[in-house]
Structure 1
Amino acid sequence: MAEILFPMLFLLLALGVPVAFAMAIAVFTALSLGSTYPNLVVVKEMFAGLDSFPLLAVPFFILAAEIMTGGAITMAVLRLAQSLVGHLKGGLGHANVVSSAMFAGISGSALADAAGPGSMMIRMMEKGGYDRAYAGALTIASAVVGPIIPPSITMIIYAMQDQEVSVGSLFMAGILPGIVITLAVLLANARMSHRRGYASDAPRPPLAEITRVAVYALPALLLILLIVGGIRFGIFTPTEASVIAVFYALIVGMFVYRSLRLRDLPEIILRAALTSAAVLLILGAARAFAWILIIEGIPQFLAETIIAWDLSPIVFLLAVNLLLLVFGLFMDPLPGVMILVPILAPISFAMGIDPNHFAIVVIVNLTLGLTTPPVGSLIFVVSSTVRLKPSVLIMEMPPFFLALVAALLLITFVPALSTWLPGVSGF
């Protein structure tokens, strides 16, 4: 069946069919033409992929993000980012990057960061004299940190595929790598701003002003501490944390910032439901796709082949980096995690690679795929925001992509970035 499955999948992706439908159609075709299994098996596996209590966290975190990333909450975080770095050379670009890092702790999604606060920062940068394409490319790069700093939907899915890690340990493991990625994009923006003369005319705000803005933004930023701290100390599970995040977002939006009204909730819930349905459809199709790989023996064959090569852990990680960067050209992170992690994670564990370290390497790799054509979702989200052709944004991406790859290599070669915090936190 594999000889039908993969060509059909790549053909459908090349034709622009959405990933979930491409995988489902490829599976149906492979079963119909290459096996005696009934097609009902596909439906069974898709439902089995969604029949999971931890997976309930996904729609609730998406709903919490929809509630938190609007109105006064967004502006509070943007003002804090601008007060911290807006006076530097390339200050509005720096504010874009810093605000994305802050929103990563609220949304857990790269696409949500780019579509929400990212779109607002693009408009601010354009008014400040930045080229629109440059602002869009910077937003694409800065949004990568969304699934790395907790909470992260990708990490929840990863923990379901690898029994050696937990959602809590991955949340802790992603904090320092997220900071590394943020610093890498900041350095790239500083270099490009110096070359293009993107100066800042904003004065350095006094400490009292920064403190006032920080206190105003604090309720929004406390969400990450609530989630990670509650999971770490065993107060609630990740699934329960997602529900608490929704109630916390409602309280902050309605009673602290007073930007959320009851009549806004139906539209917010509808948006969250549509996003959740899209994510769960991808996960269900990926489960059916992975089932065919398993019954064909592909994971076992690859595992035996790679182990027979007797690679060192570093060479193996470099090979995984190359594989996932290529895989990310054609596949979004969530199906990538469901298809590849059951194959690669046991091999890495057998080689003595820390499971949290390997998980972060995989997640960062696959997230970078959101910035690369032809499937890179971030490119198309930002393209619609700035009203520019994707090709124009792609031409501006090389300096930022190189910075992201440099951060990936640092995360790969320095395992402590991913293992220290989980270790000292007791995971």
Structure 2
Amino acid sequence: MTLALVLLFAILLIAGFPVVFALAISAFGAVLIEGKYPVIVVVKEMFTGLDSFPLMAVPFFVLAAELMTGGAMTAVLLRFAAQFFGRARGGLGYANVLSSTLFAGISGSALADAAGPGGMMMKMMEKEGYPRSYAAALTASAAVVGPIIPPSITMIIYAMQDERVSVGGLFMAGILPGILIALIYAGVNMIQSFRHGYRSETPVPPLPQILRNTVHAIPALLLIVVVIGGIRGGIFTPTEASVMAVFYALFCGMFLYRTLRLRAIPEILLASAVTSGAILMILAAARAFAWVLVIERIPQDAAQYIVDMNLSPIAFLLVVNVALLIFGCFMDPLPGVMILVPILAPIAHSMGIDPTHFAILVIVNLTMGLVTPPVGSLLFVVSSVGRVPVAQILKEMPIFMAANLLILIMLSFLPAITTFLPRLSGF
């Protein structure tokens, strides 16, 4: 059955099927070919994968992000980010990275980062003379920070797969790695800007305007404080925090910024439902796929094989990094987390690797797969938004790929980057 599962999945991916359908069809096909189990078991597993109270946080965080965007908070954050760089060499590139980092604290999604503020920044960069291909490559790379800085949908799913970590702990653990990623991408932008002479023509606004833009952006920036502060203070659970985020976004959009109109709510609800439905379909299909692997004892056998290799913790992390980089070329982070974490997390724990450190390393690594062909969802998003052929974007990507390797090495060998804040805050 394992051979049928893998072959069907590979064939469907090569044929161009979306990952969600490749996962589901291969699970159904493998069960049908083997004939040992009724097909209804696969359907049951798909529903079981969605029957979770923590999972309810996903559609609410998606809705909060849509409300914040519909309430013009994306534009507010862009003005706030762009005002500090002016005519500095590579200024709009820095603004692109900063805006993606700030919006990550609202959306929790790399694709939302790329399609929302990323799309707007690409247009601004092109207008100021930046090559469209470079703007697209920088936007796709900077969007990787979306699932790292809380709130993060991927972290919620990870915590459901590994009981050794909590959603609140992962939220805190993602802050410093997210900032590190943003700083390294800003460094790449600096290198490229000096090499190619990228410069903006828009001057820094006067100080009163900077202060107004900053004050205007504070309510949007406080969302992450509301979410993490409420969870850390024991005021609400992560699922309840997602509901509070929705009410906070409504309040900001309707009463503080006064840009969110009642007539826009139905459209926002529809967009949130479509996005949430797509995410939940992926999770259900991944659960069915993972179930077939489990009953075939693939996770157990793989775990025993790795244990028998007698690797040191560092060697194990290096092997995991390479495996995840390859895996991420073909599968998005959410199904990757559901399929791989039950296999790898127990092994990491048995080797004495901090569960939170390992969780962030896995999430960052799989998220970087979003900018890696052939699946590379972020590449296709920025290609569509910026009207740039993927081939042109890929020509700009080698230096960003090198930056990704540097990030993974630092996270692997410096676990304090991920564990310092959770321990400091009591998680």
Task: State the TM-score bracket (shorter-chain normalisation).
Answer: over 0.9
Do the aligned residues in 1 keep the contact of 2:137 with 2:393 (CA within 8 Å)? yes
Deviation of 1:281 after TM superposition, in Å, equals: 0.5
Partner of 1:13: 13
> How far apart, in 2, do the equivalents of 1:17 and 1:292 lie?
20
> How far apart, in 2, do the equivalents of 1:375 and 1:288 lie?
21
Superposition map of 1:365-376 within 5 A: 365-376=365-376
Deviation of 1:406 after TM superposition, in Å, equals: 1.0
Deviation of 1:87 after TM superposition, in Å, equals: 4.0
Deviation larger for 226-235 or 404-413: 404-413
> How far apart, in 2, do the equivalents of 1:209 and 1:412 lie?
42
Deviation of 1:85 after TM superposition, in Å, equals: 3.0
> How far apart, in 1, do the equivalents of 2:70 and 2:407 lie?
30
Partner of 1:25: 25
- AA in 2 matched with 1:404: N
CA RMSD of aligned residues (A): 1.0
> How far apart, in 2, do the equivalents of 1:264 and 1:169 lie?
35
TM-score, structure 2 length as denominator? 0.98
> How far apart, in 2, do the equivalents of 1:35 and 1:315 lie?
40
Q: Deviations over 1:98-152 (max 9, x none)?
A: 0000000000000000001110000000000101111011100000000000000
Do the aligned residues in 2 keep the contact of 1:69 with 1:107 (CA within 8 Å)? no
Report whether the alignment pairs 1:268 with 2:268.
Answer: yes
Do the aligned residues in 2 keep the contact of 1:185 with 1:400 (CA within 8 Å)? yes
> How far apart, in 2, do the equivalents of 1:373 and 1:90 lie?
27
> How far apart, in 2, do the equivalents of 1:265 and 1:404 lie?
38
TM-score, structure 1 length as denominator? 0.98
Report whether the alignment pairs 1:38 with 2:38.
Answer: yes
Report whether the alignment pairs 1:286 with 2:289.
Answer: no
SS in 1 for 2:88: coil
> How far apart, in 1, do the equivalents of 2:181 and 2:421 lie?
17
Deviation of 1:18 after TM superposition, in Å, equals: 0.9
Deviation of 1:247 after TM superposition, in Å, equals: 0.5
> How far apart, in 1, do the equivalents of 2:53 and 2:79 lie?
38
Do the aligned residues in 2 keep the contact of 1:68 with 1:253 (CA within 8 Å)? yes
Partner of 2:317: 317
Do the aligned residues in 2 keep the contact of 1:174 with 1:418 (CA within 8 Å)? yes
SS in 1 for 2:129: coil
**Identity over aligned pairs, percent:** 64
> How far apart, in 2, do the equivalents of 1:294 and 1:404 lie?
32
Deviation of 1:72 after TM superposition, in Å, equals: 2.8
Partner of 2:384: 384
Partner of 2:303: 303
Partner of 1:245: 245
- AA in 2 matched with 1:328: G
- AA in 1 matched with 2:60: F
Partner of 2:100: 100
> How far apart, in 2, do the equivalents of 1:85 and 1:181 lie?
19
Partner of 1:230: 230
Partner of 2:79: 79
Superposition map of 1:161-240 within 5 A: 161-205=161-205, 207-240=207-240
- AA in 1 matched with 2:422: P
Do the aligned residues in 1 keep the contact of 2:71 with 2:252 (CA within 8 Å)? no
SS in 2 for 1:273: helix
Do the aligned residues in 2 keep the contact of 1:20 with 1:282 (CA within 8 Å)? yes
SS in 1 for 2:83: helix
Do the aligned residues in 1 keep the contact of 2:71 with 2:254 (CA within 8 Å)? no
Point out where structure 1 has 5 or more consecutive residues left out of the alignment. Answer: none
Change (3 A) 1:86 1:411: farther
- AA in 1 matched with 2:220: A
Q: Deviations over 1:226-259 (max 9, x none)?
A: 0011001110000000000001000101111111
- AA in 2 matched with 1:157: I
Deviation of 1:365 after TM superposition, in Å, equals: 0.4
Do the aligned residues in 1 keep the contact of 2:133 with 2:396 (CA within 8 Å)? yes
SS in 2 for 1:319: helix
Partner of 2:132: 132
- AA in 1 matched with 2:179: I
SS in 1 for 2:72: helix
Partner of 1:112: 112
Do the aligned residues in 2 keep the contact of 1:86 with 1:95 (CA within 8 Å)? no
Partner of 1:347: 347
Partner of 1:54: 54
SS in 2 for 1:85: coil
SS in 2 for 1:185: helix
Do the aligned residues in 1 keep the contact of 2:71 with 2:259 (CA within 8 Å)? yes
